[in-house]
């Protein structure tokens, strides 16, 4: 026995430190741990030691064997990993391989945004048919035949009593007929009017909203719509309520917001007025409640409606409504 196991360990670690490549480490491993290696030989030689020293020496030698084995393997892995690094370079400026996502139509996005805001305010979302009877589109909304109010909306007719709905308001009587108050509902959908220019398409989309309860007031209507406008635009948006006329509300109001383009200074979009008409609203006309059998003494309600394209145009700075329905991919991909 020439060297102690401690010496063997020290030597091995020293040599490992000096080793220059994977080959020399492998050779060291054979030299120490191989069948004829120094540690192996030492282990074999233990049997020749006196009985009382054998256990201690064996334990130490095995520890060294394990330690060296781990050290060699670790050093080898380190070298292998280092050797995978080279001077090769890729051109990081080359474009990545894209997995293209599609996009939602801007009108869908704004509709969802509007619905989200009203959902948070406790409104349900409902829908109604796009082809309507004259009754629901007009009569039930207090717009009798041959009333000048019918001029306010150029109607597409399918037959004498069937029309393409000119607004989402028919959802009001339809839902009121099926449900009892309290009601808080918004109803988005497509509507149709015989009109086509920069600011009109024959099909467009609206959101109708209404609330019917025992104590709703015009003040509440102002509250709900102010909150909505501050959410859909921003908290700084100015708004004003002014008298207007809809046959299905009394009092009726038109809600203007300070022009988002010029911040109220006056520009082409707001026709130099600084204001933009954005929502029609009012207290539900008692004739609607009478038509659906609600007690007009007990219930009041308010209703409102807005054009989705108009809001989208203002939010995205689009000046031609027809862009929404051309479906030009270069337009749609921007949203």
Partner 1 sequence: MKVSLSWLKDYIPIKMDAEDLAEALTMAGLEVEAVSDRYNYLDTVVVGRVVEVNPHPNANKLKLCSVDIGGQTIPVVCGAPNTKKDMLAPCALPGTCFPNGIILEQSNIRGEVSKGMLCSPVELGLGISGSGIMELKQNLAVGDKLHHALGLSDTVFEIDLTPNRPDCLSIIGTAREIAAFQKTKVSYPEINVSEPLAEPLAESPDTAGDISNFSSVTIIDPDLCPRYSARLVFDIKIEPSPFWLQDRLVSVGLKPINNIVDITNFVMMETGQPLHAFDFDRLAENRIVVRAAEEGEQFTTLDQKERILSTGMLLICDGEKPVALAGVMGGMNSEIEDSTTRILLESAYFDPICIRKTSKKTGLATDASHRFERGTDLGGTVKALNRAVQLISEICGGKIIHGIIDEYPKPAPERIITLSVDASNRRLGTSLSQDEIEQYLKSIEFAVEKIDDDKLRVVPPSFRVDINRFEDLTEEIARLYGYNNIETTFPLIPAEARPPSKKIELRNRIKQLMTCLGFTEAINYSFINKLSCDRLELKADDPKRLMMDVLNPISEDQATMRISLIPGLLETMQYNISVQNRNLKLFEIGNVFFHTGQKDSLPDEVEILSGLWTGARVDAYWGSKEISCDFYDLKGAVEELLRNLGIINTTFTAIEPDACCYTKPGYSARIIVDDSLIGLLGEIHPLVLRNYDLKQKAYVFELDFDKLIGIVPDIKLAKPIPKFPATSRDITLIVDKDIEAMNILKMVEILNENLVENLHLFDVYEGSPIPAGKKSISLRITYRSAFETLEDEMINSLHKDITGRLIKEFDAILPA
Between residue 294 and residue 333, which ones bind partner 1 under the rule CB under 8 A?
Answer: 300, 324-330, 332-333
Structure tokens at 36: 């004829």
Q: Does 264 sit near partner 1 (CB under 8 A)?
A: no
Q: Of 251, 262, 267, 269, which one interacts with partner 1 (CB under 8 A)?
A: 251
Nearer to partner 1 (CB atom), residue 159 or residue 236? 159
Q: Of 39, 164, 278, 312, which one interacts with partner 1 (CB under 8 A)?
A: 164
| First-last CA distance in the chain | 82
Nearer to partner 1 (CB atom), residue 19 or residue 143? 143
Binding residues for partner 1, total number by CB under 8 A? 88
Q: Of 17, 146, 234, 295, which one interacts with partner 1 (CB under 8 A)?
A: 146
Q: What is the DSSP track for 129-157?
A: -SEEEHHHHTGGGT--TT-GGGGGSPPPB
- What is the nearest approach in angstroms of partner 1 to the Cβ of residue 317? 20
Nearer to partner 1 (CB atom), residue 83 or residue 273? 273
**SS3 state of residue 195:** coil
- What is the nearest approach in angstroms of partner 1 to the Cβ of residue 299? 11
Nearer to partner 1 (CB atom), residue 9 or residue 184? 184
Structure tokens at 127: 């829908």
Nearer to partner 1 (CB atom), residue 69 or residue 250? 250
Q: Does 292 sit near partner 1 (CB under 8 A)?
A: no
- Whole-angstrom distance, CA of residue 180 vs CA of residue 118: 20
Q: Does 21 sit near partner 1 (CB under 8 A)?
A: no
Q: Does 69 sit near partner 1 (CB under 8 A)?
A: no
What pairs with residue 244 in β-bridges?
252
- How many CA atoms are closer than 13 Å to the CA of 45, on its beta-carbon side? 14
Structure tokens at 286: 């008692």
Q: Does 244 sit near partner 1 (CB under 8 A)?
A: yes
Strands lying side by side in the sheet with 275-284? 124-125, 183-192, 203-213, 300-307, 275-284, 249-258, 239-246
Residues 83-142, interacting with partner 1 (CB under 8 A): 94-95, 97-105, 107-108, 112, 115, 119, 121-122, 124-127, 129-133
- Whole-angstrom distance, CA of residue 22 vs CA of residue 28: 10
Q: Does 243 sit near partner 1 (CB under 8 A)?
A: yes
For residue 325, give the nearest of 194, 209, 201, 231 by alpha carbon: 201
Q: Of 45, 70, 78, 217, which one interacts with partner 1 (CB under 8 A)?
A: 217
Q: Of 31, 117, 203, 261, which one interacts with partner 1 (CB under 8 A)?
A: 203
Nearer to partner 1 (CB atom), residue 64 or residue 164? 164
Q: Does 15 sit near partner 1 (CB under 8 A)?
A: no
Q: What is the DSSP track for 24-70?
A: HHHHHHHHHHSTTSHHHHHHHHGGGS-HHHHHHHHHHHHHHHHHHHH
Q: Does 231 sit near partner 1 (CB under 8 A)?
A: no
Q: Does 33 sit near partner 1 (CB under 8 A)?
A: no
Q: Does 184 sit near partner 1 (CB under 8 A)?
A: yes
- Please check whether residue 183 is in contact with residue 210, taking contact to mean a CB–CB distance below 8 angstroms: yes
Looking only at the bridges linking them, the beta strands covering 183-192 and 124-125 are parallel
Q: Of 196, 268, 316, 320, which one interacts with partner 1 (CB under 8 A)?
A: 196
**SS3 state of residue 273:** coil
- What is the nearest approach in angstroms of partner 1 to the Cβ of residue 133? 7
């Amino acid at each position: 026995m020439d060297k102690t196991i401690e010496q063997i360990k020290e030597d091995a670690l020293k040599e490992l430190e000096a080793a220059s490549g994977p080959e020399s480490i492998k050779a060291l491993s054979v030299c120490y741990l191989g069948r004829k290696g120094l540690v192996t030989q030492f282990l074999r030689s233990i049997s020749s030691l006196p009985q009382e020293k054998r256990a201690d020496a064996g334990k130490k030698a095995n520890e060294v064997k394990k330690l060296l084995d781990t050290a060699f393997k670790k050093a080898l892995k380190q070298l292998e990993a280092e050797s995978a690094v080279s001077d090769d370079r890729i051109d990081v400026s080359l474009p990545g391989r894209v997995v293209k996502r599609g996009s939602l139509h801007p009108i869908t996005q704004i509709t969802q945004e509007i619905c989200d805001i009203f959902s948070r305010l406790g409104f349900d979302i409902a829908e109604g048919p796009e082809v309507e009877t004259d009754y629901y589109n007009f009569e039930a909304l207090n717009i009798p035949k041959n009333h000048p109010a019918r001029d306010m909306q150029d109607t597409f007719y399918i037959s004498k009593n069937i029309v393409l709905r000119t607004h989402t308001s028919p959802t009001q009587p339809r839902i009121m007929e099926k449900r009892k108050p309290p009601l808080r509902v918004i109803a988005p959908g497509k509507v149709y009017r015989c009109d086509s220019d920069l600011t009109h398409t024959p099909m467009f989309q609206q959101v109708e909203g209404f609330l019917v309860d025992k104590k709703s007031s015009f003040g509440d209507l102002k509250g709900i719509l102010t909150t909505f406008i501050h959410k859909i635009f921003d908290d700084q948006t100015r708004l004003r309520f002014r008298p207007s006329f809809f046959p299905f509300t009394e009092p009726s109001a038109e809600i203007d917001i300070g022009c988002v383009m010029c911040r109220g200074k006056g520009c082409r979009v707001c026709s130099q007025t600084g204001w933009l008409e954005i929502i029609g609203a009012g207290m539900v006309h008692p004739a609607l409640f009478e038509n659906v059998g609600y007690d007009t003494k007990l219930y009041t309600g308010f209703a409102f409606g807005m054009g989705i394209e108009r809001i989208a145009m203002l939010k995205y700075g689009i000046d031609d409504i027809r862009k929404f329905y051309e479906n030009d991919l270069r337009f749609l991909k921007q949203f």
